[in-house]
Structure 1
């Protein structure tokens, strides 16, 4: 993190990224002295409510973050930034989004956790739009012009006021990752009963990880009259994330049920002294690791794999089979995962795998209909992207004939005609072939 003092002293000359959280109430004009090199500007965590009209002087600016500030309107000056592709204004007080505030090369827009009721038609006139984060607003509809955004791959509209999913949304040719939980349109689900585990029986140990929705600790579960067992405890933050509500994520984890490729839920925590919601879950063996890293600013909607990541055919196909099987299981329960990605998959050297992170999960009707089929086939496209990433990294053990079969399957999964994609039952059959 940089400081205002450094900026004013001129010691940041030549930098390409500026991260400045210093209680700012006004945009520091000294930032313009970095115009020849500055590409990423992060002003999150300040008290800003406006940006200068001449922001376009930052001619190389590609990424702008202004989350956790005091904006009530997306500044129109942003739209004049010719090179800007990513705009993030999460957790402000934004009520209005002017059409001219959207830069022409817009690829990634984050407006999570604001007060937006409507979006401008101009949003659908941004042909490079790929990721759209709108969870936690007051939207009752989406602009129909978005039907023209054929590159749109990820959209988060959870926790709004939508009463239906428009037909055009479900037929977007590139859409892979859709989260819409917490809207009136979502199919009501009778959550399955799960064990109630008193907080007093849990003894937290080291921190295992922390995400947007909560923190996970290793713990010991002391059960009356039984042996203690090691478990993982996830305590939910209860705050709005880019995917939606963490408490909705908890309900999806419970409703998902049991499957060999899911992390088993042991029960729901009760009697927490701060009334924090949480789950007790199976403790995963340390031999498991994340399949991929999160998308970067450059990759946008694609995971980042470690350099040199390679698989044998057996391992890659074990992963593919496991994920296709568990995704099919979730669809049978009326759940779309919404974030079927390599970075949400844990795997070991044998190709055993577990699908985690239900933060973007949504519920749909279990009865077959055009809508439920389309929702499921959108997720099939996400699987097709994953399958392609696995196939690219196979270094041995695959015959030309089998490679051809799998390439055909992968292409069928990602084809632009949503309803022409195979369901997961057929995908598993081909993978087992």
Structure 2
């Protein structure tokens, strides 16, 4: 994995990169770093280190170091005084034996990129949420089962890679990571994604292949900068939000298995799962106009007065729903009315679905949510926007 840096390397510094990789001794590496202070990169890969070199933090002589590569060692912990590396921007600790981090890491104000992939973390280190200068965080191939809500404090984070863990859910606070551009969650145990993902206006790439997803956030396709979406190998993902109709996505090996019976619904011969927020749904068999439920009316009213109401005093699930509704009506009339807990639903396959699925899977359909029978009838007649 390549980590970018804007640092200018001298000719001697560039040559040392090769020498370090070819087996330079630690004493030679540290001596070069002291003698040539423009050489701001330390290559400590494959050195058999059982601890982080204490000489780096026992004094301030190495405060100019900006990048440390220490891949494939046996490091079990980082020193409490690691914050003395005040110039450090990139710390690459791929393939070590780390399972925790010192609280002093929050003092590393220059740290922008941290790679802790293929270590022994079973919990996401809380201290990372206080490293608010982080722009890139890689923790692939660990044993993480959850993320703390404080993940939302990482406002400058642009890349978050958590592939090959054991994550069962993602907290809604991920929507507060406003700078996030790339989110990789492949090969975890996710069944859903938080709808708050739709607040990540800078998100360009989302990859969640190889999970247990049943449903995607209905407004995911409205993300203005989303260019790449990969949901391949989620066999129980049988429907894709209609808002994604114009996006290039990967959905090979989706729709090959039905979702569990208690969540699966069937409409017009197609089956799928609706967002858990949808408590009442109507479909093409509905023949009469039905009044909206009291909950739907109340949520809609509160939403339109949320600036003057104390929404935070409500139960968190309802407050979150008001802050981030389930969907907008997709009727071609441009209705776009908010949908919270009740929807008129249509599963459809249209001629370009084969190209859309990039795999020709006839079991995969699109899910359209409308706010009324009138909008649903209009959508069924003109499903493709002009």
TM-score, length-normalised on structure 1?
0.44
Higher relative contact order (CA 8 A, sep 6+): 1
